[in-house]
Amino acid sequence: MAQRRMFSKKITETDLFLDMPMSSQCLYFHLNMSADDDGFIGNAKTIRRMIGASEDDLKLLLAKEFLFPFDSGVVVVKDWKIHNYIRSDRYNETVYQEEKKQLKQLENGRYEVGIPNVIPAVYQMDTQVRLGKDRLGKDNTLSSDSTVLIHQPHFKSIIEYLNEKTGKKYKHTTNKTQSVIRARWNENFEEDDFKTVIDIKTKEWMNTDMEKYLRPETLFGTKFESYLNQTDKTDSGEYDPLADIR
């Protein structure tokens, strides 16, 4: 196994990373240093205890998807291949082959969970909880008897539905598309909410000058909740479609 590890500022200097407590950031670096050549770690809890990090630090890394967990207790660094390039003559494949089969690698090197879309990770605790955006702020206090159950947004099915309704060919793997979907997902919106917004806005905008805005960054942006709860504006003679994107 290679003995040196690298880190990309594309990950470690993002607001998502730097908004975490220093203890969580420190744990992330230590886990990366201990990972095998494919980014898998089989003793994350031991490392956490060894450096004096809390359970909440590990849970936060899981909830913000810097790590993906598996039923076996193994975790993998999501952005491992963005951080590290290991020469073939120094590379040793992971022993965690069953876990590796559950992942696919995107063009940018980032790992993504394949099938199923929900990782049934019961991180050896008792009560199942879903961590929303409101649980990840500065006042985050997760109980020690809670389970981190990571629900992945269903990027593929959401974008396939959008393409079916609009005749477009958007990809579900692009960073921008995944970013806006994940932002709404972390606000506790569900897959059906995305499809409802698609239905509402395609009915309203198709075959109009607004059709060009039937795209992920507009539909799933900061006005998402307004779109989801709107009435049929097209029945009003005073409807200004451009107001929907301002």
CB distance 49 to 58 below 8 Å: no
- Residue 228, exposed/middle/buried by CB under 10 A (0-12, 13-18, 19+)? middle
Residue with structure tokens 């019961």?
122
C-alpha of 85 from chain center = 23
Average pLDDT, the chain: 82
- Is 90 exceeded by the pLDDT of residue 122? no
| CA angle 86–91–96, rounded 5-degree value | 115
Distance (Å, whole) CA 74 – CA 104: 17
Q: In the structure encoding, which two tokens stand for residue 113, read together?
A: 């969970």
Directed axis angle between helix 155-166 and helix 175-185, to 10°?
110
Which tokens sit at 179? 């970013």
pTM of the shown model: 0.50
* The total number of residues written for the chain in this structure: 246
pLDDT score for 17: 95
Q: Report the range of poorest mean pLDDT among 7-11, 105-109, 145-149, 198-202.
A: 145-149
pLDDT band at 114 (very low <50, low <70, confident <90, very high): low
CA 70-73-79 angle, 5° bins:
55
d(CA 76, CA 80): 8
Low-confidence winner among 31-35, 38-42, 77-81, 109-113 (lowest mean pLDDT): 109-113
Q: Which of 7-21, 49-63, 223-237 has the lowest mean pLDDT?
A: 223-237
The pLDDT value given to residue 188 = 85
pLDDT digits (tens, 9 = 90+) for 50-92: 999 999 999 999 999 999 999 899 999 999 999 998 888 888 9
What are the residue ranges of helices labelled H in 122-174?
155-166
Q: Percentage of the chain with pLDDT > 70?
A: 76
pLDDT-based confidence at 240, cuts 50/70/90?
A: low
What's the rounded Cα separation, in Å, for the pair 76 and 37?
Answer: 11
| Confidence (pLDDT) at 129 | 41
Average pLDDT estimate for 150-174: 87
H or E stretch at 124: none
State how far the Cα of 86 lies from the Cα of 161, in Å rounded to an integer.
38
pLDDT at 1: 57
CA dihedral sign of residues 240, 242, 245, 246: negative
Give, rounded to a whole angstrom, the gap between the first and last alpha carbons of the chain: 52
Q: Is the peptide bond before 153 cis (omega within 30 degrees of 0)?
A: no
Report the 10 Å Cβ neighbour count for 181. Answer: 23
Res 78: pLDDT: 96
Per-residue pLDDT at 107 = 87
Residue 169 exposure: Cα atoms within 13 Å on the Cβ side: 0
- Mean pLDDT confidence for 104-124: 65
Give the pLDDT mean for 188-214: 94
At 157, list the tokens. Answer: 């099915």
How, if at all, do strands 146-148 and 127-129 pair? parallel
